[in-house]
Every structure is written in structure tokens, then in C-alpha cells.
């Protein structure tokens, strides 16, 4: 029976490849995907993707947040596609030409190989004060995220990253045209760490999220099933 736990993407926030492989072996039959970022790729190169796939990570979410000129980002997407990456991130602020180039490169890989392109608008470590005072954005955080998310879908991206607090208005704005991945999921008693905008798994899914990124709560627990149960994710999907 497929459960809501398959909507979970485990964040492998470690530079230790052995540890990452053990986590994959421990969780691959419980959750849907694994997210890797700079800590693993800078330490071990992109070959780390294959090594994790060999341990059971059938879906790899490459979270490197590409943000560069169109040709450079297109080349990065091509490399990700060669390695059967399921999903990757890029900054929407890179602009329409960059997003279009990325989408065209993903499409060229073919339907079986094309990674899902996920747009990042505002990092979950930022709040509205930071957005206005330090980045000079003269609209609310929600307005900014909704606007950028609509732009991302219009220019060929497959979906967007959204904190739990903005999922509902973004889903309303983009309808069913795009996938929404939501970090910032915490246990009721969990620490927020360095993220400002967090919420429960149930709230995020009810508001329109398709996938949930969960890291420390799963990785640090000796009983991941108990964590998934506490999050309300062991019920049928």
C-alpha cells in the first residue's frame, strides 16, 4: 500500500558519503526520494549520484540552485540529465532566458531522462524584513513568491519550491500546472534550525504541496517509522 511517506524527500545534509549511503539503505523503502546539495557534490563530485542510486536511491533531487547565464545553466541541466537526476533546482531570478534554456535542455534529454526543473524564489531562511531591507523588494514576501512562481511556470519550469506558509496562494496562482516541493517541515516539538517559515507535514499537503523535504528529523532518529507516524505520513496516499 502506497502511503503519504512516499511524498517525502529526505535531505542528505552531510558531506560523509558512507553516512549518506547508510541513510539511503535505511530509508529507500519508506520514502520517495533523496536530496543532495553542495556538501556531498563538492566533496565527492557528481559521481556521488550513481553511488547513491546503487544503494537504492531511485530518485535523486539535485539541489544546487543553478543561477548563471543561460548557456551555463543549460550545460548544467544536460549534465544532470546524463546522470538520471529526477529533480533539480534553479533560481527564478536568473530570468526568462535562463529558464527557457534550462527547459529546452531538459526537453532535449527526452521524456524518460528529463529532470524536473524546480524554481527557487525566496529561500526559507529569509523573512519579509530581510526581503525588504536587504534585498530591496517592494512587495510582500507572499506577493513576491507568487509572482515569481507564476513566471517560472510560464517560462517552462516544472514546478517551484515553496515554504509551507506560501503553498496555498502559490497553488491557487499556478493551479495544477506545476509541482510544489516544500521544505521547512518540522515535528510538532522540532527545532526550526536556520529556517524562518516552517509548518507541519499535514498542513503543507492540505495546502497543495506535492512533496515534502525532511532532513534532520528523519536522519537523526533511530526510529524513522515513528517519525513518519508522528508527521501523519503513514496513512494511505
pLDDT at 1: 64
DSSP β-bridge partners for residue 120: 91, 161
Domain contains 86: yes
Q: How many domains does the chain contain in total? A: 1
Active-site entry in 51, 65, 113, 150: 65
Domain contains 235: no
Domain contains 70: yes
Question: Is the model's pLDDT at 48 over the cut of 70?
Answer: yes
Percent of the chain with pLDDT over 70: 95
Q: Which long-range contacts (CB under 8 A, 24 or more apart) does 190-196 make?
A: 190/217, 191/216, 194/125, 195/124, 195/125, 195/163, 196/124, 196/125, 196/126, 196/127, 196/163
Question: Is the model's pLDDT at 5 over the cut of 50?
Answer: yes
Q: What is the pLDDT of residues 115-132, one digit of tens each?
A: 999 999 998 888 899 999
pLDDT at 165: 87
Domain contains 110: yes
Average pLDDT over residues 61-87: 98
Distance of CA 159 to the CA centre of its chain: 10
Mean pLDDT of the chain: 93
- Which residues have CB under 8 Å from 44's CB, separation 6+? 17, 51
Domain contains 151: yes
Q: What is the pLDDT of residues 146-166, one digit of tens each?
A: 999 999 999 999 999 998 889
Domain contains 152: yes
Q: How confident is the model at residue 192 (pLDDT cuts 50, 70, 90)?
A: very low
82 is catalytic: no
Domain contains 218: yes
Q: What is the pLDDT of residues 100-120, one digit of tens each?
A: 999 999 999 999 999 999 999
For residue 223, what are the domain limits?
A: 4-230
Place of cell 515554504: 163
Domain contains 147: yes
Q: With helix as H, strand as E and coil as C, how does 123-187 read? A: CCCCCHHHHHHCCCCCCCHHHHHHHHHHHHHHCCCCEEECCHHHHHHHHHHHCCCCEEEECCECC
Average pLDDT over residues 170-177: 96
Average pLDDT over residues 86-95: 98
Q: Read off the pTM.
A: 0.93
- The alpha-carbon radius of gyration of the chain (Å, integer) is 17
- Of residues 187 and 206, the one with the higher pLDDT is 206
Q: Find the CATH number of the domain harbouring 102.
A: 3.20.20.70
Amino acid at each position: 500500500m502506497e502511503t503519504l511517506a512516499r511524498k517525502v524527500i529526505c535531505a542528505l545534509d552531510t558531506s560523509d558519503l558512507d553516512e549518506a549511503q547508510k541513510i539511503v539503505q535505511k530509508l529507500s523503502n519508506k520514502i520517495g526520494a533523496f536530496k543532495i546539495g553542495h556538501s556531498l557534490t563538492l566533496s565527492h563530485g557528481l559521481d556521488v549520484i550513481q553511488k547513491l542510486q546503487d544503494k537504492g536511491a531511485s530518485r535523486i533531487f539535485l539541489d544546487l540552485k543553478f543561477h548563471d547565464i543561460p548557456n551555463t545553466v543549460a550545460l548544467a541541466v544536460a549534465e544532470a540529465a546524463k546522470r538520471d537526476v529526477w529533480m533539480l533546482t534553479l533560481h527564478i531570478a536568473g530570468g526568462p532566458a535562463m529558464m527557457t534554456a534550462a527547459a529546452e535542455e531538459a526537453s532535449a534529454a527526452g521524456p524518460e531522462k528529463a529532470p524536473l526543473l524546480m524554481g527557487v524564489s525566496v529561500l526559507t531562511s529569509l523573512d519579509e524584513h530581510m526581503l525588504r531591507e536587504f534585498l530591496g523588494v517592494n512587495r510582500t514576501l507572499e506577493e513576491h513568491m507568487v509572482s515569481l512562481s507564476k513566471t517560472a511556470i510560464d517560462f517552462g519550469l516544472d514546478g517551484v519550491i515553496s515554504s509551507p506558509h506560501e503553498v496555498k496562494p502559490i497553488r491557487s496562482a499556478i493551479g495544477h500546472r506545476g509541482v510544489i516541493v516544500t521544505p521547512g517541515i518540522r515535528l510538532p516539538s522540532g527545532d526550526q534550525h536556520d529556517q524562518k517559515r516552517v509548518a507541519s507535514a499535514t498542513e503543507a499537503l492540505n495546502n497543495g504541496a506535492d512533496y515534502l523535504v525532511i532532513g534532520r528529523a528523519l536522519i537523526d532518529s533511530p526510529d524513522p517509522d515513528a517519525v513518519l507516524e508522528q508527521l501523519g505520513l503513514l496513512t494511505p496516499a
